[in-house]
Amino acid sequence: MYDVTALGELLIDFTPSDHSDKGNILFETNPGGAPANVLVALSKLDKKTAFIGKVGNDQFGHFLRSVLQEHNIDTSNLLFSDHVNTTLAFVHLDENGDRSFSFYRNPGADIMLDRDEINEELIKQSRIFHFGSLSLTNDPAATATFTALLYAKKHKKIISYDPNLRIPLWESLDDAKEMMLKGLEYADIVKLSEEELEFLTGYSDVVKGTEVLHAQYDTSLIFVTLGSKGCFYRSKKDHGSKEGFRVKAIDTTGAGDAFLGGVLYKLLETNKPLHELTTPDLVGIVTFANALGALATEEKGGIPSMPTMEQVERLLNKE
């Protein structure tokens, strides 16, 4: 039995690390991809996880598989493409550690995952199924994602969703909005940023925006990450916010994924039906998740920055 199985992109983040003798920026090879980041966050907290996706049959693809295996993530449904290379993302950081991306994915192996390649048994054997919106940008991966979601529904799994807006990867903003909203039709748990909330609802106000999503999709739990300000949450009975933790941010890549890993970890530990979560339960969940998100900003990269339980407890006890 697995705690969480995730489907989606597994890629290389080239993160700026220093300058050469000639003054040129040097990039460091970091493993990443939002769904994979979430699984690593969970596996570092001793949860059993599995990944579904596709990489190129190249040095990057084999490196990425070895990284997942080092973190005890099941890679039996990680496939290799002989025709398309592993997707690459170049990360650009500003003075606050906030990042933007340039993608090399035209196409990339992650969007070549076919619906016939999904291992239904893996989803059936999991407590939670997690996906993001980057596997919805192109077929065949979009159809494969919806196939996996139908399997998750069929086997009555909790479905977690990260509607991740990466504008360069979509044909158009209309296409992005349509597909990202389609993902919401399946989700029990949704994690999104303020920017993504406004993009999907037209509201920058988190109370109103989440109210619209809840009314339209009957989502059990919605979390809006607010960067250093923490997070806003909404359940079917309650809503509120919890301030973040003060840390020295170097690179925000993967912070939202660490946060979501923290949410899923606490939900698995609490082991209550989502509709039975109390306000103290929700406050405990977001406090823990905020700690993970904050700690992930203290190191560069997505997967390499996921914190240990020891680091999380140290931060929680300090506060």
pLDDT one-digit tens code per residue, 114-171: 999 999 999 999 999 999 999 999 999 999 999 999 999 999 999 999 999 999 899 9
The 10 Å Cβ neighbour count of residue 114 is 14
Helix, strand or coil for residue 121? helix
Bridge partners (DSSP) of residue 55 are: 80
Structural contact between residues 240 and 232, judged by C-beta atoms closer than 8 angstroms: yes
13 assigned to some structural domain: no
Q: What does the block give as tokens for 10?
A: 């597994």
Say which CATH number the domain at 276 has: 3.40.1190.20
pLDDT tens column, 28-40: 898 989 999 999 9
Average pLDDT rounded to a whole number, residues 16-29: 88
At 72, the pLDDT band (50, 70, 90 cuts) reads very high
Question: How far is residue 145 CA from its own chain's centroid?
Answer: 15
- Which residues, in sequence order, are bridge partners of residue 78? 53
Cβ atoms of 12 and 29 within 8 Å: the answer is: yes
d(CA 176, CA 163): 10
Check whether 251 has a pLDDT greater than 80: no
Q: What is the pLDDT of residues 194-211, one digit of tens each?
A: 999 999 999 999 999 999
301 pLDDT tier (thresholds 50, 70, 90) = low
pLDDT at 283: 95
Task: Let me know: does 35 contact 63? Beta carbons within 8 Å.
Answer: no
Report if residue 174 sits inside a domain: yes
Confidence of residue 245 (pLDDT cuts 50, 70, 90): confident
Mean pLDDT rounded to a whole number for the chain: 92
pLDDT over 70 at 78, yes or no: yes
Range of the domain at 153: 2-8+33-85+105-317
| pLDDT grade for 99, boundaries at 50, 70 and 90 | low
Give the number of domains in the chain. 1
Whether residue 268 is contained in a domain is answered as yes
Do 291 and 316 touch, CB atoms closer than 8 A?
yes
Q: What is the pLDDT of residues 180-196, one digit of tens each?
A: 999 999 999 999 999 99
Window from 48-57, 72-81, 89-98, 201-210 with minimum mean pLDDT:
89-98
- 26 belongs to a structural domain: no
> Rounded mean pLDDT of 290-297?
89
Note whether residue 99 is domain-resident: no
Element (H, E) at 206: helix 206-217
In a domain, 165, yes or no: yes
Going by C-alpha positions, the residue among 72, 78, 23 that lies closest to residue 306 is 72
Whether pLDDT at 94 is above 70: yes
Please state the rounded mean pLDDT for residues 265-279: 95
Domain membership flag for residue 156 = yes
pLDDT at 240: 94
Phi and psi torsions of 122, nearest 5°: -60, -40
CB 64 within 8 A of CB 37: no
Tell me, yes or no, whether 17 lies in a domain. no
Least confident of 54-63, 119-128, 169-178, 291-300: 291-300
Burial degree of 271 (CB within 10 A; 0-12, 13-18, 19+) = exposed
